[in-house]
A = this chain, B = another copy of it.
Amino acid sequence: MIDADVFAKLLCDWCLAPAEGDQIVVSTTTLAHELAAAMHHELVGRGAWPLLRLVPSGIERDFYELASEAQLDGFAPLELTEAQSINASLRIDAPANLRQLAGIDPARIARTARARRPIQEARLARRWCITLWPTSALAQQAGMGDREYETFVTRALFLDRPDPAAAWRELSAEQARLVERLSMAREMRIQGPGTDLRLRVEGRTWINSDGRRNMPSGEVFTGPHEDSAEGTIRFTVPSNRAGGTEVAGVELTFRAGEVVAARADRGEEFLREALAIDPGARFLGELGIGTNRGIDRATGSTLLDEKIAGTVHLALGRSYPETGGVNDSALHWDLICDLRDGGELTADGETIMRDGDFTT
């Protein structure tokens, strides 16, 4: 259903902008072989060197189960060399089983992530993009049949538009206007059923996330002042965490930026553990506003859900330094509040979004 050639063209035109001679890593699972082949075609045609890194879905479980102490604390030297040598990287999420890591000790996962940080940092220092390819596992999590989900993803990526790159350019321009407006704001307020939260954003930078790094994207975000959150918010969109825990109906109360009360309808134990990871986990690192009108319902995947036009999201934990945020934590957990069924986002008392519709 998704035209892999059109998708690959969008990823090159809008996200990766490959130059002649560029070395570009494309990593995914074997389930996305169609898009990987289309990327190879597109990149070779532009004079670049595609380096395809397809793996069978789910092999990371074997690593976590079998790895020695030395392996948990290390990595293949070539992986770092590669990350330091490439010009750009594309990661295509295409899982066969979203519960592949169920029952794996989270400490082993965290230890591996820590050891691999140099690779991660080298990769982020170059052009990068993360996207997805529809699989049955993703469709199942979204509560859709395979074809229905493919249609949904097609719309989320603007691949149903005559010129997808032009559609993203248009969204980028819209978001630029929103960023301009929000850059003048001192205080943001989110109101809705069970929600009334104030955040100070004065002097912080709003980022226009227009699909170049997350495809699809469609959000603007900043890092609120770490000591500023006051009030309560109810996150109405469920969140699926790595390893398979679903956390739903999260309600947080903040005083002077810190979480002072926390509950959840499902996954409350997981929520408590997340808040206890380190001191920064109890403070906010991000306020984001979704703008993507191609995404009209929650799918259980944060990459998509946080972009729904008419939602806002807050992240517990680490800030993005480019926003001016300074919260530090091993955690960065996006939680989403849907304002489409009644709710308001205001900036210094002026309405930005009401019941999910932008007013500016």
A190 to chain B, nearest CB (A): 45
A56-102 residues with Cβ-Cβ distance < 8 A to B are 56, 58-59, 62-63, 66-68, 70-71, 75-79, 81-82, 85-86
Residues of B within 8 A of A198 (CB): none
Quick check: is A262 within 8 A (CB to CB) of the other chain? no
Residue pair B45, A66 in contact (C-beta under 8 Å): yes
CA distance A66 to B67 in the complex (A): 41
Residues of chain B lying within 8 A (CB to CB) of residue A78: 23, 49, 51, 81-82, 85-86
Q: Is the CB of A70 within 8 A of B55?
A: no
A108 to B166, CA, bound (A): 37
> Contact: B56 with A36, CB < 8 Å?
yes
A143 at the interface (CB under 8 A from B): no
With both beta carbons as reference points, the residue of chain B lying nearest to A47 in the complex is identified as: B68
Flag if A54 contacts B54 (CB, 8 Å): yes
Q: Are B66 and A41 within 8 A (Cβ)?
A: yes
Asked if A59 contacts B86 (CB within 8 A), the reply is no
* Interface status of A322 (Cβ within 8 A of chain B): no
Question: With the chains together, A54 CA to B28 CA distance in Å?
Answer: 10
Asked if B52 contacts A71 (CB within 8 A), the reply is no
Q: Mark A21-50, 1 if CB is under 8 A from B, else 0.
A: 101000000100110110011001101010
Would B53 and A76 count as touching, CB distance under 8 A?
Answer: no
Indicate the size class of the contact surface on chain A: 35 or more
Residue of B21, B51, B62 near A44 (CB, 8 A) is B62
Q: Are A44 and B56 in contact (CB under 8 A)?
A: no
Contact A71 B44 (CB under 8 A): yes
Cβ of A202 within 8 Å of any chain B Cβ, yes or no, is no
Q: Do B54 and A70 have beta carbons less than 8 Å apart?
A: no
User: Of B49, B59, B75, B77, which one neighbours A85 at CB under 8 angstroms?
Assistant: B77
- In the bound complex, residues from chain B placing their C-beta under 8 Å from that of A36 are 55-56
> Which among A36, A40, A41, A76 has the highest number of chain B CB atoms within 10 Å?
A76
Report yes or no: B62 in contact with A76, Cβ–Cβ below 8 A. no
Enumerate chain B residues within 8 angstroms of A23, measured Cβ to Cβ: 76-78
Interface centre among A54, A67, A71, A86 (most CB of B within 10 A): A54
Complex: how many Å from CA A23 to CA B82?
A: 13
Q: Say yes or no: is A348 at the interface (Cβ < 8 Å to chain B).
A: no
Q: Are B56 and A33 in contact (CB under 8 A)?
A: yes
Contact residues of A with B, CB < 8 Å?
Answer: 20-21, 23, 30, 33-34, 36-37, 40-41, 44-45, 47, 49, 51-56, 58-59, 62-63, 66-68, 70-71, 75-79, 81-82, 85-86
A-B interface, 8 closest residue pairs, ranked by CB to CB distance from nearest = A49-B76, A37-B56, A54-B54, A30-B30, A33-B56, A30-B33, A44-B66, A41-B62
* Apart from A30-B54, A52-B55, A78-B85: 18 A-B pairs, beta carbons within 8 A: A21-B70, A23-B76, A23-B78, A30-B30, A36-B56, A37-B58, A40-B59, A40-B62, A47-B71, A49-B75, A49-B76, A49-B78, A51-B76, A51-B78, A52-B56, A52-B59, A78-B82, A81-B81
- A/B interface sample: 14 pairs, CB < 8 A: A23-B77, A36-B56, A37-B58, A40-B62, A40-B63, A41-B59, A44-B67, A45-B66, A47-B71, A49-B76, A49-B78, A52-B56, A81-B85, A82-B82
